[in-house]
Structure 1
């Protein structure tokens, strides 16, 4: 049977204390580089904005409510305009379009894409 310490007929070098010291120094160097790289990565990543309702499902419900409320309000106003003035589909059509635009504007304001309605530059 072959000797497990021999490889391809050659004798392997026995590890000594200098090999252990070199390995220990390399491991410490690697650990320092890994911690430095993880610190740089943490600094480079953008930090999320803090909001009062930070859960994703809460934001989704808020955004959908902002949009749907504008469309429903436009539909109700359009239906009332049609009943009062007798211009059957036109009041509803125009007010639904205006409600859609108002809902999109509310959605953009709620998400922070555009500035709020009462934005004051004099801070």
Structure 2
């Protein structure tokens, strides 16, 4: 009788071990999917940030140029020049965001380099 009981317990232990191994495999697969989706979300957020910075710089340049043309009466020249400056500022912001250009120095950074 004790042999049957021990066999039964051993069988239940094996079955539970197999179920636990299956659960661990499912958990590992789910963690991998979560990590991949997190990377995807980070990439999407970075892309939206970069595109909005670029578009806003061009739009601000165009609006300032249009305002300058309206106030000063310089026809298309103010808009052309400030639109190009906005485009250049947008490109610079994009390059800073992706790390291709050094970040803009602040007042504290300049004083640290001079030793004052």
In 2: Cα distance, 1:81 partner to 1:118 partner: 29
- Structure-2 residue corresponding to 1:97: 84
Distance 1:118 1:111 in 2: 16
What residue number does 2:43 align with?
Answer: 56
Higher Rg of the two aligned structures: 1
Unaligned runs of 5+ residues in structure 2 are 1-40
The number of residues matched between the two structures is: 70
Give ranges in structure 1 of 5+ residues lacking alignment.
1-53
Using the TM superposition, give the Cα deviation of residue 61 of structure 1 relative to its aligned residue in structure 2, in angstroms: 0.1
Where does 1:1-123 land on structure 2 (aligned, <5 Å)?
Answer: 55-118=42-105, 120=109, 122=112
TM-score with structure 1 setting the length:
0.53
User: What does the per-residue CA deviation read over 1:10-34, in whole Å, with 9 as the maximum and x for residues that have no partner?
Assistant: xxxxxxxxxxxxxxxxxxxxxxxxx
1:112 Cα offset (Å): 1.0
Alpha-carbon shift at residue 69 of structure 1 (Å): 1.1
Structure 2: how far apart are the matches of 1:65 and 1:115? 20
Aligned-CA RMSD value: 1.8
